[in-house]
């Protein structure tokens, strides 16, 4: 399955919400995500443009692999997500297992997320208004699509972004942005 996604920075959440609701968006949930990212023992995900994380949403736990981005207009990539047992013990066991396999901890990204659902051109779109600790405010628009639907889904998210008045696209991941902010100054 492909994750066809665009992300925009420096957004005014209230302005985005004012445009989302008239388009039929429905608020699905408000949550806090804690994403613990790991790097592989056999390659550097920063160089291969991949990602591997343990996501915690309340007591829910998920392992996610994201492949390299596929095009320049979106952040589309293969995404494989596996739901795990719930709770702190399951998260701790998963982290111990991942480390035992040689994966190294990179960083944890924390964000407050408001999720909205809407239908556009036959696609279920997820619109997320994010406040990322240490990084800022963003809006993500995402469609889960089959390979054959890629171009149509891409057109839908880009058109929706335009309708929402989103202009400052951000292709870097929240992890990349966080690591750039925390890197010591050069010179």
Distance, in Å, from the CA atom of 79 to the CA atom of 146, rounded to the nearest integer, reads 11
Q: Which of 8, 37, 103, 174 is catalytic?
A: 37
CA 169 to chain centre: 14
Three-state SS at 168 = coil
Strand partners, 132: 111, 136
Burial environment of residue 108 by CB neighbours within 10 A (0 to 12, 13 to 18, 19 or more): middle
Is 37 assigned a catalytic role?
yes
Distance, in Å, from the CA atom of 129 to the CA atom of 91, rounded to the nearest integer, reads 26
Cβ distance 150 to 73 under 8 Å? no
- State the catalytic residues: 37
């Amino acid at each position: 399955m492909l994750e066809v996604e665009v992300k925009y920075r420096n957004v005014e959440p209230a302005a985005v919400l004012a445009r989302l609701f008239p388009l039929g968006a429905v608020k699905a949930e408000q949550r806090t995500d804690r994403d613990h990212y790991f790097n592989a023992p056999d390659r550097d995900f920063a160089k291969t443009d991949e990602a591997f994380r343990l996501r915690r949403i309340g007591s829910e736990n998920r392992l996610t692999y994201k492949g390299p981005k596929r095009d320049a207009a979106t952040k589309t990539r293969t995404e494989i997500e596996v739901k795990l047992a719930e709770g702190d013990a399951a998260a701790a066991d998963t982290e111990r297992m991942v480390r035992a396999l040689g994966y190294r901890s990179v960083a944890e990204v924390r964000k407050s997320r408001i999720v909205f659902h809407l239908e556009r051109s036959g696609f279920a779109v997820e619109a997320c208004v994010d406040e990322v600790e240490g990084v800022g405010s963003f809006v993500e628009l995402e469609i889960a699509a089959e390979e054959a639907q890629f171009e149509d889904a891409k057109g839908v998210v880009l058109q929706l972004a335009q309708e929402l008045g989103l202009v400052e696209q951000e292709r870097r991941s929240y992890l990349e942005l966080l690591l750039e902010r925390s890197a010591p100054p050069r010179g």
